[in-house]
Amino acid sequence: MKLNPILLSVLAGSLLAGVAQAQVTVTITGSTAFRSITFDRAASLFDPGYAVSGNTNSGPGTYSGTMSNAVPSLGQTPVVVRLSFSGSGAGMAAVDAGTPVPTIEPGTGATNNLAPDIALSDVFPESAAPALDGSHFDQDIVGVIPFVWVCNHALGITNITREQALLLMSASGVVTNGTQIIPGMPASFLGGKSSDPVYLTGRDSGSGTRITTQKDIGYTGASPRLWGLDLGGNLVLTNGYSSGGTERAVIANNPNVIGYLGLADAGAIAATASSISYEGVAFSVQAVQNGQYPFWGYEHFVNRKGLSANQQSIRDALVAAIKDPGFQTTNPLYTGNFVDQANMHVRRGTDGGTITSLDF
């Protein structure tokens, strides 16, 4: 019996459509601080033989394959996870508004702009600028991010208090009044070696690092006095930097500069700059976990409401993979930069909020 060619074409199209519908896709954006961790943990969910497209170090990058071992309910359903990181506030805003982010198509490597389903963020949605309504998302806390104050070795500063940090935000560097140059806070005010002004550098207004810092010290001003280097190596006022790597270079290459960094960026300039105590306490994992060291925030996992059942299963597996105590206490991607969540004895309900006990 011969089948009608038109009928064969319709049947083939129906089969292909069924395959396309069976495929589950998840698009992830947000915090660059957890970028490497999210790539690693997303890849860990796939069965052996999964495919990689794009850049899986800095993104955009894509994994495709099956997840029958990590998510048994999916069986042999094809899964595509796209990752494209834009920063904490921008990522949450994109999920909230359905704003497309650049992604990479599996196999072809072609660029495609898609609305994200999930964002990682260094801050609560309400701390973003502009603030976002946390009720728009489903949320989990998946890690603890410590920060440190860092100064060039030449400054000789060993500690900074909350009040000194707050004053530094508005009094660092120099103020020009016509032809008159008025020096601001001297390094000696912070216990440093010099009476020369100390210059504060930092991140841009969308940075989770900056938001956490300002929340932690209680700074509510419109814009802090931040300094950077121009092309001639001169210190000039700036709106802040988009990456910790750029900020750390300013600290490392100028003897009068202080700033705030994540652990990885601080470690990268240890030869020329020092991580200093905050409120008289030096950073350590235990000091964060016991509530002695207050300069830290959470890593948040937020997703749009209304994920499909299969997307929800992938989302839950990814959260569990990031929070896994074994991963957080042994994998250098995590241990070198963050504080394991399972051993925290304290908590806080907002960015920079009061630290309370989990034990009593």
SS3 call for 116: coil
Domains 5-143+298-344 and 146-289 share a fold: yes
Distance CA 288, CA 341 (A): 10
pLDDT for the residue 310? 98
Percent of all residues in the chain with a pLDDT value above 90, rounded to a whole number: 86
SS3 call for 308: coil
Distance CA 115, CA 96 (A): 10
pLDDT for the residue 5? 55
pLDDT 10s digits, 329-350: 999 999 999 999 999 999 999 9
146-289 maps to CATH 3.40.190.10? yes
pLDDT 10s digits, 205-248: 888 899 999 999 999 998 899 999 999 999 999 999 988 999 99
Cβ-based neighbours of 135, under 8 Å, separated by 6 or more: none
pLDDT 10s digits, 6-43: 544 544 544 444 444 489 999 999 998 999 999 999 99
Mean pLDDT of 137-149: 98
pLDDT for the residue 4? 60
pTM assigned to the model: 0.89
Q: pLDDT-derived band of residue 180, with 50, 70 and 90 as boundaries?
A: confident
Strand blocks (E) in 210-269: 226-229, 235-238, 257-262
Instruction: State the architecture of 5-143+298-344 in CATH terms.
Output: 3-Layer(aba) Sandwich (3.40)
Domain ranges of the chain: 5-143+298-344, 146-289
Give one word for 251, left, alpha or beta, with left for phi > 0 and alpha for psi -120 to 50: alpha
Within 10 Å of residue 72's Cβ, how many Cβ atoms?
A: 9
The vertex-85 CA angle with 81 and 91, nearest 5°, equals: 100
Cβ-based neighbours of 351, under 8 Å, separated by 6 or more: 123, 124, 127, 211, 212, 215, 216, 297
